[in-house]
Structure 1
Amino acid sequence: MNTSTSPNNVRIFDTTLRDGEQSPGCSMTPPQKVVMARALAELGVDVIETGFPASSQSDREAMALIARELRDTTLAVLSRCLEADIDTSLRALEGAARPRLHVFLSTSPLHREYKLRMNKAQVLDSVHKHVAYARRHIDDVEFSAEDATRTEIDFLAQVVEAAIAAGATTINLPDTVGFTTPEEIREMFRKLIAEVPGAGNVVFSAHCHNDLGLAVANSLAAIEGGARQVEGSINGIGERAGNCAIEELVMALKVRNAFYNFDTNIDARRIVPTSQLLSRLVGMPVQRNKAVVGANAFAHESGIHQHGMLRHRGTYEIMRPQDVGWPDTQMVLGRHSGRAAVEARLRALGYWLEDDELAAVFEQFKALCEKQRVVTDSDLQLLMHDDASGNQGYRLASMTINDGGARTGDIRASATVELSDPNGERFTETANGDGPVDALFSALAAATGVDLVLESYQVHSVGLGADARGEANLSVRYGDEEYDGTGTSKDVIEASALAWLDVANRILRERNAVRAGGVIAAA
């Protein structure tokens, strides 16, 4: 919990459980919220906004459960400027050791006219009345001027002054629709902090949305303007395009500390585990190229980049992967990799080659890259034993899918697959599942003896018109390792089967390499 009043300390207000949960498809049950809140506390966030009690019984239950467990972190709930809402929120906060009541009211002309149907005087009266009412019952009151960045600056100053006079301890100025720019929000904070009476006695906060992709940049600018609390969410989830991504903001302040000269209480080594936990809880995978927490954030395939990284990490990485919770940099071997990266990986596997031998293996490596996107350690070992093309693994001969439902009278989907093994012999397996893809993967697992845990699965179109194909991409876990597979076909279900077999065959080749006496090094 951040109790520091240091001008160089920025409080992190996490709204993953409230605003983040409003992202379509990201709702959580109360027990799931407890798990996530525990992780946020371990991460070191200063304030956890647990929900909007007046909106649902689930949010009230979650707040009660979290309050029993987390005693050293400030817990906040959101409330409209309505006495009934505030009363509900106060009851929800009763068990919290460090409670905060977060009340809000819209202030922009658009919201005043069409949402509230209130004039300026009515807005000012409501702000003062409800902040004062909240403050009579609780010491820590945050007020948010919704749509602050589209509010007339002179009227916004009046609103902030009214909230401070009524007892607010934190003033939040949200960029509710992600409309502002860094220059504008920086000046807004500077002006209000300099001119509003009592501004020096409260903490100013920024809550930026990402509709124009500027949430993190605007939050950093707000800090430059005097904000000492930033509100955001893990993985940037939230309404529409989401919120300021906490992991990006924290690492920007950390990596560029010499420029910003601000610190947070976040344990950066917990960032990736927290991101991955949220992804599992809500079922929303993180895009691979996302900053800090994306799977490609510390992965290098380009030969030029790999060569530079082999010489000095700082050539292409501005932070260490271990600093945010990744185990290490990934040197991905693929179509764009150069000889230096292949040679370095072979040496790590125990192979030291003369120039002519390396040249021959590199040619085979390039040919293999035309067949698969990523070349693994086991693939390299098979190349060294001239076996990369000799053992093709299992191949899909045919498949039959019954998707179930009322039409057939079946409750669950079923799939029958016919595979040919490495020796060319054919056999079939049938399995049931909760859907056609689940049934398909279960049948493939039964047929190959490789049981994979699906982490993420996506299908999309490649190409245009009559030449378009379906491509399936999946990430799976097998033991302690994670694998990615890809398959393409005119039929997306067949593409899914091919992606699954892509991984299964790779794992089986690794098994064979181990049996043959090979040593597989960690990537």
Structure 2
Amino acid sequence: MATTQIQIFDTTLRDGEQVPGCKLDTDQKVIIARQLDSLGVDVIEAGFPISSPGDFNSVAKVSEIVEQATVCGLTRAVKKDIEVAAEALQKAKKPRIHTGIGTSDSHIKHKFNSTREAILERAFEAVRYAKSFVEDVEFYAEDAGRTDNEYLARVCEVAIKAGATVLNIPDTTGYCLPSEYGAKIKYLVEHVKGIDKAILSCHCHNDLGLATANSIEGVINGARQIECTLNGIGERAGNTALEEVVMILKQHPYLALDTNIQTKELYKTSQLVSKHMGIYTQPNKAIVGSNAFAHSSGIHQDGMIKNRETYEIIDPKEVGVTDSAIVLTARSGRAALAYRARKLGYELTKLQLDVVYQNFLAYADRKKEIEDTDIHQIIETSNVYQQIISA
């Protein structure tokens, strides 16, 4: 599909919720769904309706309140699953049924005790049946990452013939290298008959830390939807992180790939998900971690004070963070101390700064981080304090 627009398919409420201990109730799902709609995601996968009455109710409620995004319900390639999903999605302005089946030899043999031909038949029937309820049907080829490309192309062709509008190519186990995953998408673009009638979608897991890289390689090679979660949460090691792929595409305009995401809402949405999921976001998490725009090394701080772009490729305001942080530690230099002191109303001469800095180091060696209250005390206990306040 010849377009530069990348659809963002958020599965925080479905795949993201599969983290042990992170069950969301319906009210929480509705709160997060409203924010996802404001964020600008194109698709919200609200849940797996047949899995429980609670999940059915959540999908139904989310379908009612979402104004802009497509609302999606997951199913297996089972008629009852599809019927229940269609019922849950009845009030959605733009409903989508997401159905599919495993396609790797491992899944076919060990999970289904079946054959390749039988799986092709089940894929066709599932999509065709889903199509009888909604126009927008996404098909997933589970474990596509370990499915050989020739057979995967046959599966995709069958799904398109049955009416699939989106083809999800999951790296379910997070096994692929970026070059391998990109080549798989490229192969499908070049070899699947009727591929112009459907959107290829990336759904990558992070078992080897490659989910984001794989998704980017996927869209570079022709996929036009990325399936992801806020903060990269999800089964096992998690999913592709929404905030990462969105900002990668934004920061690399030469890729000529765009999203509809309102990036200034990213930090707010990340915090909301973290709060309701009860999952602490690691401080060094890209884009939304507490240290993503914090600087404690003296060399980095000096560069930042002179020009932010010296050590930051993203303006924190672009993702909804108020400002960069200059964190004072024993690794900080004079420039950072003078900068923070100035913000507190102290204008230090070079000689005064030299004296105060020695006192600062003595404090910093005893504390992990120097706060504003400490700076007042450091200056007030320095020999040059009377000179500073009388200046």
Would you say same fold, with TM above 0.5?
Answer: yes
Shift of 1:354: 2.6
2:173 maps to 1:177: yes
Which residue type is aligned with residue 323 of structure 1? Answer: E
Task: Give me the whole-angstrom Cα distance separating, in 2, the residues matched to 1:356 and 1:380.
Answer: 17
Q: Decide which of 236, 244, 266 is 2:232's aligned counterpart.
A: 236
Q: Could you say which residue in structure 2 is the equivalent of 1:363?
A: 358
List aligned pairs for 1:83-98, cutoff 5 A: 83-98=79-94
Q: Deviation per CA, 1:409-458, whole angstroms, max 9, x where unpaired?
A: xxxxxxxxxxxxxxxxxxxxxxxxxxxxxxxxxxxxxxxxxxxxxxxxxx
Q: Decide which of 233, 242, 248 is 1:252's aligned counterpart.
A: 248
Q: Decide which of 371, 376, 387 is 2:371's aligned counterpart.
A: 376
Task: Give me the whole-angstrom Cα distance separating, in 2, the residues matched to 1:175 and 1:63.
Answer: 25
Q: Deviation per CA, 1:349-393, whole angstroms, max 9, x where unpaired?
A: 111223332112111111111221111111111222229xxxxxx
Shift of 1:69: 1.1
Q: Could you say which residue in structure 2 is the equivalent of 1:284?
A: 279
Task: Give me the whole-angstrom Cα distance separating, in 1, the residues matched to 2:91 and 2:348.
Answer: 67
Task: Give me the whole-angstrom Cα distance separating, in 2, the residues matched to 1:224 and 1:357.
Answer: 55
Q: Could you say which residue in structure 2 is the equivalent of 1:351?
A: 346
Alignment length, in residue pairs?
383
2:336 maps to 1:341: yes
Q: Could you say which residue in structure 2 is the equivalent of 1:166?
A: 162
Task: Give me the whole-angstrom Cα distance separating, in 2, the residues matched to 1:125 and 1:104.
Answer: 12
Which residue type is aligned with residue 355 of structure 1? Answer: K
List aligned pairs for 1:6-155, cutoff 5 A: 7-155=3-151
Task: Give me the whole-angstrom Cα distance separating, in 2, the residues matched to 1:87 and 1:39.
Answer: 28
Which residue type is aligned with residue 376 of structure 1? Answer: E
Secondary structure of the residue aligned to 2:101 is: strand
Q: Could you say which residue in structure 1 is the equivalent of 2:301?
A: 306
Shift of 1:173: 0.5
Q: Could you say which residue in structure 2 is the equivalent of 1:316?
A: 311
Contact 2:37–2:67 (8 Å) recurs in 1: no
Larger % of strand: which? 1
Task: Give me the whole-angstrom Cα distance separating, in 2, the residues matched to 1:126 and 1:347.
Answer: 69
Secondary structure of the residue aligned to 1:292 is: coil
Task: Give me the whole-angstrom Cα distance separating, in 2, the residues matched to 1:310 and 1:89.
Answer: 54
Q: Could you say which residue in structure 1 is the equivalent of 2:216?
A: 220
Contact 2:100–2:126 (8 Å) recurs in 1: no
Task: Give me the whole-angstrom Cα distance separating, in 1, the residues matched to 2:216 and 2:348.
Answer: 50
Task: Give me the whole-angstrom Cα distance separating, in 1, the residues matched to 2:333 and 2:377.
Answer: 19
Task: Give me the whole-angstrom Cα distance separating, in 2, the residues matched to 1:361 and 1:117.
Answer: 74
Contact 2:8–2:225 (8 Å) recurs in 1: yes
Task: Give me the whole-angstrom Cα distance separating, in 2, the residues matched to 1:139 and 1:354.
Answer: 71
Contact 2:101–2:140 (8 Å) recurs in 1: yes
Contact 2:142–2:170 (8 Å) recurs in 1: yes
| Runs of 5+ unmatched residues, structure 2 | 383-388
Task: Give me the whole-angstrom Cα distance separating, in 2, the residues matched to 1:136 and 1:358.
Answer: 75
Q: Could you say which residue in structure 1 is the equivalent of 2:385?
A: none
Which residue type is aligned with residue 24 of structure 1? Answer: P
Secondary structure of the residue aligned to 2:336 is: helix
Task: Give me the whole-angstrom Cα distance separating, in 2, the residues matched to 1:149 and 1:345.
Answer: 50
Secondary structure of the residue aligned to 2:209 is: coil
Contact 2:165–2:199 (8 Å) recurs in 1: yes
Task: Give me the whole-angstrom Cα distance separating, in 2, the residues matched to 1:82 and 1:362.
Answer: 69
Which residue type is aligned with residue 206 of structure 2? Answer: N
Higher-Rg structure is: 1
Aligned-CA RMSD value = 1.2
2:322 maps to 1:327: yes
Task: Give me the whole-angstrom Cα distance separating, in 2, the residues matched to 1:276 and 1:72.
Answer: 22
Q: Could you say which residue in structure 1 is the equivalent of 2:386?
A: none
Q: Decide which of 192, 195, 200 is 1:199's aligned counterpart.
A: 195
Contact 2:363–2:378 (8 Å) recurs in 1: no
Shift of 1:50: 0.3
Secondary structure of the residue aligned to 1:80 is: coil
Relative to the length of structure 1, the TM-score reads: 0.72
Q: Decide which of 250, 256, 262 is 2:257's aligned counterpart.
A: 262
2:380 maps to 1:385: yes
Q: Deviation per CA, 1:35-57, whole angstroms, max 9, x where unpaired?
A: 00011011100000000011011
Runs of 4+ in 1 over 3 A off after TM superposition: none
Secondary structure of the residue aligned to 2:44 is: strand
| Runs of 5+ unmatched residues, structure 1 | 388-517, 519-523
Task: Give me the whole-angstrom Cα distance separating, in 1, the residues matched to 2:133 and 2:289.
Answer: 43
Larger % of helix: which? 2
Task: Give me the whole-angstrom Cα distance separating, in 2, the residues matched to 1:85 and 1:165.
Answer: 21
Task: Give me the whole-angstrom Cα distance separating, in 1, the residues matched to 2:270 and 2:240.
Answer: 14
Secondary structure of the residue aligned to 2:202 is: strand
Q: Could you say which residue in structure 1 is the equivalent of 2:290?
A: 295
Contact 2:174–2:210 (8 Å) recurs in 1: yes
Task: Give me the whole-angstrom Cα distance separating, in 1, the residues matched to 2:68 and 2:347.
Answer: 55
Secondary structure of the residue aligned to 2:74 is: strand
Q: Could you say which residue in structure 2 is the equivalent of 1:446?
A: none
Task: Give me the whole-angstrom Cα distance separating, in 1, the residues matched to 2:141 and 2:278.
Answer: 32
